[in-house]
Chains A and B, each alone.
Chain A
Amino acid sequence: EVQLVESGGGLVKPGGSLRLSCAASGFPFSGYCMNWVRQAPGKGLEWVSSISFTSKYIYNSDSVKGRFTISRDNAKNSLYLQMNGLRAEDTALYYCTRSSGIGNYSSDYWGQGTLVTVSS
Chain B
Amino acid sequence: QSVLTQPPSASGTPGQRVTISCSGSSSNIESNTVSWYQQLPKTAPKLLIYSSDERPSGVPDRFSGSKSGTSASLAISGLQSEDEGDYYCAVWDDSLKGYVFGTGTTVTVL
- Please list the residues of chain A having a beta carbon within 8 angstroms of any beta carbon in chain B: 35, 37, 44-47, 50, 59-62, 95, 103-104, 106-113
Closest residue of A by beta carbon distance from B50: A106
11 contacts between A and B (CB under 8 A): A44-B2, A44-B104, A47-B99, A59-B98, A62-B98, A103-B92, A106-B35, A106-B47, A106-B50, A106-B90, A107-B35
| Residue from the list B33, B45, B46, B56 in contact with A104, Cβ < 8 A | B33
Please measure, in the bound complex, the distance between the C-alpha atom of A53 and the C-alpha atom of B47, giving whole angstroms.
21
Please report the total number of B residues contacting A with Cβ < 8 Å.
Answer: 27
Q: Does B80 interact with chain A (Cβ within 8 Å)?
A: no
Count of A-B contacts judged by CB separation below 8 Å = 59
The contact string, 1 if C-beta is below 8 Å from chain A, for chain B 83-95, is: 0001010111000
Residues of B within 8 A of A62 (CB): 96, 98
**Chain B binding site: helix, strand, loop or mixed by DSSP?**
strand
Cα distance A14–B98 in the bound complex, in angstroms: 26
Cβ of A45 and Cβ of B91 under 8 Å apart?
Answer: no
Interface residues of B in 42-65 (CB under 8 A from A): 44-47, 50-51, 56
Partner of B97, one of A37, A59, A95, A108: A59
Taking the complex as formed, is B108 at the interface, i.e. its CB lies under 8 A from any CB of chain A? no
State whether A108 and B2 are in contact (beta carbons under 8 Å apart), knowing that A47-B100, A61-B98, A62-B96 are contacts in the complex: no
Residues of chain B within 8 A of A108, CB atoms compared: 47, 50, 56
